[in-house]
Amino acid sequence: MKKPSPSRAVAARLIGQWLRSGDFPDRLMEPVTADRAFVMEVVYGVARWRRTLEWILSRCAPRPPAGPVLPHLLAGVYQIFLMDRAADYATVNETVGAAKTAGGPRAAGFVNAVLRQALRNQDAIRQDLANQKVGVRESHPDSLVKRWTEQFGAEKALELCRWDNTRPQVTVHPHCEKSGLTSFLASLKKTGVEATVHPFDPDRFVCLPGGSRITDLPGFAEGLFSVQDPSTMKAVDLLDPQPGEFILDACAAPGGKTTLIAERMEGRGELVALDVMEDRLDPLRENIGRMRLTVVRVARGDAASEADVGALRGNRRFDRILLDVPCTNTGVFRRRPDARWRFSPASLVEVARIQRALLDNAGRFLKPGGTLVYSTCSLEPEENEHRVRDWTALHPRFALTKEIRLFPPETRTDGIYAAALELTRDSSNRHQ
């Protein structure tokens, strides 16, 4: 038997951690350095295709796999059926070797039998899979497929599921204050990186080829660009920040929109970047420092807490507030494939409570005539249009002036919702 692959063992170990704890795959991946691209492909691939892989295993295993064998089987079946490399018996042997190291000879024997069965019968399995319902063959919960079918129609729901299962492209935004798009593309080309403009926002976003190392690109250390999906710009467009203003980014981490707001402030005014989780503020501080954004003040605090937000403002009210609220993430399943398995009616109820509390508190601290932008990376109307209309009905001095929705298969971006709410100038506010 070929010597077990350390990368396959690492991937299986992380998959096992994810199955047990439900932790986020990106956090599990943080300490991985060796053969990182392969490990990430397998871990994220299993998270994305979990339901399909479990269906395949049900066709090949004599009993439901559990314990130490399940992560190895999921990883092995993913490599056989869904990776962009030809699967062969050597791949099976390496996976079996990794299973033996982790679980002993009995575990290895079970993994060997199941994977060889899958390899021998993969043509028949693929044909049978093509006849299964959408949730099985596109690896989504039935509840989501049903919701999306009712909301968008069957054809668009299928397109969305298929979009979620594609690998996300890396896109960056050259900061115009320091580097124009044309010169940025030219600098990439000089280093052999053939980048292209993003079709949804070709004047502001660049798509990088697969395998590009962000930290090695020209201009990274100098803060000439930020890694962003074009969808992130839409909430900032609605916010329309101006130089010299006092602005709150209320749920700022990891800081993508913070950098976009600061760019438009042109070094004048103050932008408070607030987030409740200290560990999420670390990458935000790092990016702000790298990009030399002097208008940004980073603060830890709860945007739903009147005391926390009130302590940030002195005797001033904010000219503009961006409220990029926690949500069910249904617009970004392509980037966060594990999030689809956390979606439930109960999760909608819980995020609705949080969203209401955040809106209630943010509304207290906006200057009359100011703009509050509410945004999510969700496709669910309960978190988007319904949330905004329900809230403005209770707060009639806030007027909905504009809203935008992005449907990923059409825009080739993440799915988002954003709404601009203006506080009328005759409003009274007890927070002076």
DSSP state of 34: T
Phi and psi torsions of 269, nearest 5°: 100, -165
Q: Is-contact 226 256, C-beta < 8 A?
A: yes
Whole-number Å distance between alpha carbons of 157 and 139 = 13
Active site residues: 377
Alpha-carbon span 296 to 430, nearest angstrom: 27
For residue 124, CA distances in Å to 46, 81, 118 come to 21, 12, 10
Q: Which residue has the tokens 């299962």?
A: 165
Q: What are residue 296's DSSP bridge partners?
A: 271
Distance CA 413, CA 409 (A): 8
CB 138 within 8 A of CB 158: yes
Rounded Cα distance, 10 and 32, in Å: 8
With CA atoms as reference, report the closest residue to 7 among 47, 41, 30.
41
b/e per residue 257-293 (b: at least 16 CB within 10 A):
bbbbbbbbbeeebbbbbbbbeeeebeebeebbeebeb
Give the burial class of 34: count Cβ atoms within 10 A of its Cβ; 0-12 exposed, 13-18 middle, 19 or more buried: exposed
In 3D, which of 320, 359, 325 has the Cα closest to residue 239? 320
Helix axes of 122-129 and 69-81: crossing angle, nearest 10 degrees: 80
Check: CB of residue 260 under 8 Å from CB of residue 282.
Answer: no
Q: What single DSSP character describes residue 207? A: E
Residues 6+ apart with CB under 8 A from 30: none
On whether the CB atoms of residues 355 and 383 are closer than 8 A, the answer is yes
